[in-house]
Structure 1
Amino acid sequence: MVCGAVQCYSHTAKSKIGFIDGSYARPPDRSPNLHQLERCNAIVLSWIMSSVSKEIFAGIVYCIVASKVWADLKERFNKVSGSRIYSIQREIVCLKQEASPISLYYSKLKQLWDEYASLVTLPSCSCATARAYVDHEQTQRLIQFLMGLNESYNGIRRQVLMMSSLSSVSQAFAIVSQEESHRMALSNQPLIEVPTTAFYSTSAKNSKLPRCENCNITWHTKDVCYKLVGYPPGHRLHK
């Protein structure tokens, strides 16, 4: 958002916030501080103008007082719009992976989540109710991420949802990304049977992950093993 971007710049520069909220009054014309104040005002004004779109820039290009420009932008844009919240929620629910790689699909989702968080006031205290709400929000994001995955990831989706404690969305993203990389490697290289220990760690961490009883590989179980149920469409071994 426009206001958020400029406010970030203002906080990082010393003694510039006064040019945004109007607390720095213009000194008399003969004041020795006039030149310095006008210089700082011009800097803040340039920050604002470089942070807005071309359409908005055309309406403020002739303004010379940063605080007045900021007040005008705040009046026009710093309002939570119910229609925008609805639009973001709709985009999140309708977003599908389709032909996009996992990383691009996840980046689009995260951008929508971040924009939604900027419009909705979330609890920031450390009480049990606030923590429960944050946990619920993370679970919702995990489900939204899994819902948009292609059908070829049904096995991974079931495994994540069947875990005793649900993974975070970042952990689920890591799992799916690893599966995607594994499939790409198999599609580009000849199938060679090698000892499982060459690629999979026997550490305590990996021992907690689901492991296939057929091929002894983690991240999937016997009921969805490609060697038993067949390879998905698009895989070079698919028949």
Structure 2
Amino acid sequence: MAGPTNPPGGSGKDESINFDDPLYVHPSDNATTTIVTVKLTGNENFRIWRSSMSRALKARNKLGFVDGTFRKNNVETNKESKWERANVVVCSWLLSSISDSIYASHAYSDNAQEIWENLFETYNKADGSVVFNVHQRINSLKQNGLSVSDYFNKLDTLWNEFDGLTSVTECTCEAAVKLNDHSKLMKLMQFLSGLDESYNQVKSHICSWIHFLMLKLFFQ
């Protein structure tokens, strides 16, 4: 007697599995999986860590477990155990991505949203010394033989970190546009000032039209 056959084009796997369901956990995404390379160490890298973790969770359709959009009371009673399993996995991902000193304060937490919110409340602070340190590193960074691309990438990383620490309320008014243009000019001059002497001729050429741009910006 012939055994059961798969339907045309079928794989023989359970077709009822919904890979877009937040409750679905891929076999490779278990509780011991490391989903980000950045470890949270404190105020100084919280925004970078949060951004990296948010992307990683969103890619796995698990962001709802931490931002409150997919809570246990959102699922049917017969799926609550699946929610609990997925929640524990997300908890493990969060806890495995923080330093040992921070881990101790959250080791017994069993709700991913609570861990996420507690970390936000504790470390989403622009400590003055941190802001000063980043600003100082920006001002002291020089090319010193690096390739232009490597030098720019280092400077751009510091700029992004500084902008994250000193971010202001978003605005789309005309003044905000001019302020953004001014910020870009300041960054360009910062970049040029750190280039090696071998680029002096290039710097001189660029600076000749920076002056024109600044006049245009402030007297429009």
Identify the TM-score tier after normalising by the shorter chain: 0.5 to 0.7
2:55 match: 8
The 3-state SS of whatever aligns with 2:151 is helix
Q: Where does the alignment leave 5 or more consecutive residues of structure 1 unmatched?
A: 168-239
1:138 paired to 2:165: no
Give the TM-score, by structure 2 length. 0.63
Out of 35, 46, 64, the position equivalent to 2:81 is 35
Cα-Cα RMSD: 2.7
Q: CA deviation at 1:133?
A: 0.5
2:31 match: none
Q: CA deviation at 1:119?
A: 1.5
Q: Give the direction of change, closer, same or farther, for the CA distance of 1:142–1:123 in structure 2 (3 Å limit).
A: farther
Q: Give the direction of change, closer, same or farther, for the CA distance of 1:158–1:33 in structure 2 (3 Å limit).
A: same
Taking the TM superposition and a 5 Å limit, the aligned residue runs for 1:95-174 are 95-122=141-168, 124-163=170-209, 165-166=212-213
1:187 match: none
Task: Point out the structure with max Rg over C-alpha.
Answer: 1
Q: Percent identity?
A: 33
Code of the aligned partner of 2:182: H
Instruction: Select between 103-112 and 156-165 the one with higher mean Cα deviation.
Output: 156-165
Taking the TM superposition and a 5 Å limit, the aligned residue runs for 1:74-93 are 74-93=120-139
> Which consecutive aligned stretches of 4+ in structure 1 deviate over 6 angstroms post-superposition?
none
Higher relative contact order (CA 8 A, sep 6+): 2
Taking the TM superposition and a 5 Å limit, the aligned residue runs for 1:15-94 are 16-21=62-67, 26=72, 31-57=77-103, 59-94=105-140
Instruction: Select between 89-98 and 77-86 the one with higher mean Cα deviation.
Output: 77-86
- The superposition leaves residues 45-69 of structure 1 with CA deviations (integer Å, 9 ceiling, x where unpaired) of 2332344345434553443221222
Q: What is the aligned residue count?
A: 163
Taking the TM superposition and a 5 Å limit, the aligned residue runs for 1:195-210 are none
Give the whole-Å Cα distance in 2 for the aligned partners of 1:71 and 1:39. Answer: 20
Q: Where does the alignment leave 5 or more consecutive residues of structure 2 unmatched?
A: 1-46, 215-220
